[in-house]
Amino acid sequence: MSEHPHIIVGGGIIGLSIGWELLRNGAERVEIYEAGEAVRSGATWVAAGMLAPRAEANFEEVGIYHAGVASLNAYPDFLAHLGEDADNVPRLDTCGSLMIATNVDDKRELDRQFEFRKRIGCPAERLDGSAAREREPLLGPRVTSALWLDGDAQINNRTLALALKQAFVKCGGILHEHTRVQSVIRNGESVTGIQVGDEVIPAASVIIATGADVQIGGIDPLPVRPVKGQMIGLRAEPFAMLKQPILATKAYLVPKDDTRLLIGTSAEEVGFDKRVTAGPILNILHRAWEMVPAIYELEIEEIITGFRPTPRDHKPIVGRGTANNLYYATGHYRHGILHAPLAARLISQLILSDRWDRSYDEFLPSRFFTKAVEVAA
């Protein structure tokens, strides 16, 4: 066994989940290097915290749907264990979710979404406008039909990531914040460490969990790009408390347990441009107001932007790279909060016992490489 630490690059929800899971399962030394402040610097802080594989199921993405359901099923145990190592663990809100239509085009889209869900065995209930308003009285009169997705959930992703950070450190993990990793050092079929400034730091293994930013020397080139999302946080008042997330094309509303009502979001191909811009905010607010007119009165608390780590094929990139001790856990796109327990389990099993769950072969990084180290079956 190497005396060097397992080094994770990136302190978002994925890096922290893997770090904590490794320590919980017997790894002796785990260190995380984070370019900014862990939890707060990446997409993790910006996300809406929907754990909604049923509402987010997308045509051609059946594997992501099944993985999402598996990861959501793992959440209760994940949180129970987290409660042993952290003080403030968020509640899993099993509130379901509502997809809605406010015009004829949306209605047609919703019909197709319903048929698609039937085909893949995803439970969904079709509602007309009044049945939807019975379930969620704040829906406006323009809502003409809806799909109810029982079994979807949500969580306060900020509280969760802060709890993971605390648990990681409490279990003996070392967190280096404001420390950017420039490159991974390779020696033939293995990696031997990382480079930070002028310093080379030896590692037993290196796990790349840098979200949308995969510009690191020495790693295999990954087709991951940032897709920008702008998110508005309103201060929810009692008269505007939604019971569950409401999703429509081009906008959603997600009530959080800390008085925020999140209104999202755009999907912009503008690279790492962090600016808040008027057009997308106007569109998002307008769509959200059509769905739930009561938001008109609410105070805007914050507007933030984040970057979804988006692979060419939209599937997570999880598993071993082209060196036997180099691992990837990135590319989680719109699902990183949902997929965190699954990514943590897959990577920690691979590192600690060389086991890989073949049901997730489609997520292996090797799909992008010509030369890949075979994983243990």
* Residue 65 interacting with ligand FAD (CB under 6 A): no
- With a CB cutoff of 8 Å and minimum separation 6, the contacts of 74 are 341, 342, 345
Name the minimum Å distance from CB 87 to ligand FAD: 22
Instruction: Please tell me the distance from the alpha carbon of residue 42 to that of residue 142, in angstroms, as a whole number.
Output: 36
Name the minimum Å distance from CB 194 to ligand FAD: 9
* Residue 231 interacting with ligand FAD (CB under 6 A): yes
Name the minimum Å distance from CB 129 to ligand FAD: 25
E-only strand ranges, 221-291: 224-235, 246-248, 251-255, 260-264
Query: Which span (90-98, 142-150, 332-340, 365-373) binds ligand FAD, by CB under 6 A?
Result: 332-340
Instruction: Please tell me the distance from the alpha carbon of residue 214 to that of residue 211, in angstroms, as a whole number.
Output: 7
Tokens of 193: 């460490």
Tokens of 239: 């008269």
* Residue 160 interacting with ligand FAD (CB under 6 A): no
Q: Which of 33, 65, 75, 368 binds ligand FAD (CB under 6 A)?
A: 33
By the 8 A CB rule, do 256 and 95 touch? no
Rounded alpha-carbon distances, angstroms, from residue 27 to 61, 181, 205, 351: 34, 22, 12, 9
What sign has the CA pseudo-torsion 334, 340, 341, 346? positive
Query: Which span (34-42, 91-99, 142-150, 163-171) binds ligand FAD, by CB under 6 A?
Result: 34-42
Letters for 171-210 (x = contact with ligand FAD by CB under 6 A, - = none) are ---------xx---------------------------xx
Name the minimum Å distance from CB 374 to ligand FAD: 25
Instruction: Please tell me the distance from the alpha carbon of residue 91 to that of residue 298, in angstroms, as a whole number.
Output: 25
Q: Which of 7, 247, 337, 351 binds ligand FAD (CB under 6 A)?
A: 337
* Residue 229 interacting with ligand FAD (CB under 6 A): yes
Q: Which of 24, 36, 151, 290 binds ligand FAD (CB under 6 A)?
A: 36
Map the footprint of ligand FAD across residues 244-283, applying CB under 6 A.
Answer: 264-265
Burial label for 279, CB within 10 Å (0-12, 13-18, 19+), is exposed
- Residues at the contact surface with ligand FAD, assessed by CB under 6 A: 9-15, 33-36, 41-44, 46-50, 180-181, 209-213, 216, 229, 231, 264-265, 306, 308-309, 330, 332-338
